[in-house]
Chains A and B, each alone.
Chain A
Amino acid sequence: MSSVLDKRLVFVTGKGGTGKTTVTAALGLIAARQGKRVMVCEVAEQSRIPNLFGLDGAGFEEVELAKDLWAISVDPDHAREEWLRFQLHSGAMAGLLNSSRIFSYLAAAAPGLSELVTVGKVWELAQLERKKTKASPYDVVIVDAPATGHGVAMLRAPKTFRDATRVGPIASQANHIHTFLADPKQTAVVAVALAEDMPVNETLDLGGRLEEEMGQHLQAIVVNALYPERFSGAEAETIAAANGKPSPAARAAIDAALSEHERARAQRSQLRRLKRDADAPVTTLPFLFEPEIGAEQVEALSHDLERRL
């Protein structure tokens, strides 16, 4: 897993609600501690990582959250405009084209264009020679990518466009980006999962789809929010067999303990299944009994994750 952070680009995806954003932020902190210049990148108008650090959301500008840890939120509109500027070598022409009705229809006609320009910008951020003038390179760019299905769609957008356009400037550029994304030496895909039936299935499925559609593979799986194993099987039996007449509050304590035990056990069996069937190394993060995840929690998780790498 630590080798994941030696790539230029890390795509963090997985089923919705598994904690991709938190894991992205934690990976960012680890890489920054290793002395790297790090960019954590959110897409699709999301900007939650700066909030985790108690800061306002980032826009399309690259902002520094902490030493060597940078953030950006890549939205399709800005990405498209910047892409046009690079292509036409002129801001004025890009503005003219971008605001023309014909172009906006075309952009809508090609629904994958949003994904393409977004992933194009992500690629640009990960280049040692930045296209953007006066921009400094990053050692690693970590992307809080959309959930599994849309995440894969985004990753393969350049391939889709290359195949659709065959020849011409878009095709050659799309091919260039696709080659980078499909190269496991440059780009790593990390899945975040929960130790539950459906997230495990989806993670296993994701591995297959990456192979099939991109020739890529999962390089690491992070199983998030794993319950602690507080009670041994024998202890659970003792609790279940507790005699006497407990008060309602004590009854609640006993029930909570038993249900916790049940949950932890079910999670362990899902975790075993994932480890058995997945081709990538599996790392775990503990469930946090905290009302909210903030800077402190992400920091703690990042140390936890770093130890387990």
Chain B
Amino acid sequence: MLRRKEICVCAGSGGVGKTTTSAAVALGMAQRGKKVIVLTIDPAKRLANSLGLPELGNEERQVPIDTGDGELWAMMLDAKRTFDDLVEWHAPDEQTRDAVLNNRIYQELSNAVAGSQEYMAMEKLHELHNEGRYDLLVLDTPPTRNALDFLDAPKRLSRFIDSRSLQFFTSGGLFGVKVFSRGTGVIFSMLKRLTGVDLLQDLSEFFQSFGDMASGFRERANRVTDLLADSRTTFLLVTSPRYDAVDEAVFFHHRLKDAGMPFGAAVVNRMHELPAKGNGVAGEVEALLGPGLGRKVASNLEDYRRLAERDQLSLEALRKRLGRKPMIEVPDMEQDIHDLEGLTRMGQYLF
């Protein structure tokens, strides 16, 4: 499935094992002789955790592990720094660059805002892919409630810097000659009432300096979108057999299809496997372990079977909705996976 792929995006709702799956995919491919990097934008150290590293920074770091010819690298993307780098890259001159970097609106927004992170992840992905230093890039997408936010991120950014939005602020200058049409004038006065003059001035400065860079940004955002839809990219849809996670996975699959993104496979984590059936199990274990303990063991099995049956139903539902797409089941493991050994164990089911 990953043959001839250069980018693997792991997506899904929160708590289904996305980060662990990303790390296991990356490790598995490294063990197959590839030079792989796994990227996360999640500051919660989940990826570092599962790779057994104390932490990850904005630099590419090699995971110290013997994978033969392959190499495993990891990196946590710093959205703010990526954004700054982009501004630096696109700014026509130092003055513009500094004007943007020092603008308060820019500083606050590039720093704190959840939406810009998704885009910056895509952007960094694009950059690393362009440099071509790795055989495979694996992206662990952020745990948004709406797992698809990041798909729209490049489009959102390019819409925002679309020249038409800038005209309002740049044509004639906000505080210069009044060249607004009547309609625009009304909108403007309402905005002023909302934001106050100061904020509007800041916004105006921001847009004016950003305006020079708009076309560069737009072009890049388009290229990022193209890259996601490219046949060298594949999306792994990570889910668990819980009914709400399955619902989201189905929804996600539709969105991928609508957006023309290449769907690779669904990975269903934490499956309870159906235990073997047999008559008189209760009697047998009671005979084996004594009546008290035997009864407990038998009732534990019944509870387990209920979970396994639920998982099978969920899986069936998912299979029906996904059509003939590959589905990979990973059993629920007793121990949390938070080291390379655990990832290798998980990899046995993935590859």
Residues in chain A within 8 A of chain B (CB atoms):
15-18, 44-46, 48, 84, 87-88, 93, 96-97, 100-103, 105-106, 108-112, 114-115, 146-150, 153, 156-157, 160-161, 163-171, 196-199, 201-202, 205, 230-231, 235, 238-239, 242-244, 246-257, 259-260, 262-263, 266, 270, 289-292
Contact = CB atoms under 8 A, between A and B. Distances in A.
B143 A16 contact: yes
B49 A201 contact: yes
B187 A259 contact: no
A201 B284 contact: no
B77 to A, nearest CB: 13
A252 B301 contact: yes
A106 B168 CA distance: 11
A102 B165 contact: yes
Chain A CB within 10 A, most for which of B159, B194, B298, B307: B194
B112 A105 contact: no
Contacts of A87: 193-194
Contact of B243 (A149, A257, A270, A292): A292
Interface in B326-341: 334-336, 338
Contact of B193 (A46, A88, A109, A161): A88
B33 interface: no
B181 to A, nearest CB: 12
B296 A247 contact: no
The DSSP consensus for interface residues of chain A is helix
B275 A252 contact: yes
B190 interface: yes
A149 B187 contact: no
Q: List 7 tightest A-B contacts by C-beta distance, closest first.
A: A16-B14, A17-B15, A168-B196, A249-B278, A111-B115, A105-B165, A164-B108
Given A17-B240, A254-B285, A202 B187 contact: no
B265 to A, nearest CB: 20
Nearest to A248: B276
A238 B16 CA distance: 34
A88 B165 contact: no
B304 A260 contact: yes
Given A249-B278, A249-B281, A292-B243, A160 B194 contact: no
Given A109-B160, A238-B293, A17 B13 contact: yes
Given A168-B197, A254-B285, A110 B276 contact: no
B198 A256 contact: no
B132 interface: no
- Of B45, B336, B338, most A-chain CB atoms within 10 Å: B336
Contact of B198 (A88, A167, A260): A167
A256 B308 CA distance: 11
A149 B145 CA distance: 11
Given A106-B203, A251-B276, A170 B306 contact: no
A149 B275 CA distance: 38
Contacts of B146: 44-45
Nearest to A166: B198
Interface in B174-206: 184, 186-188, 190-191, 193-199, 202-203
Contact of B275 (A102, A242, A256, A290): A256
Contact of B196 (A110, A165, A239, A262): A165
B164 A101 contact: yes
B284 to A, nearest CB: 4
A259 B300 CA distance: 10
Contacts of A48: 244
A46 B129 CA distance: 35
A202 to B, nearest CB: 5
A97 B162 CA distance: 19
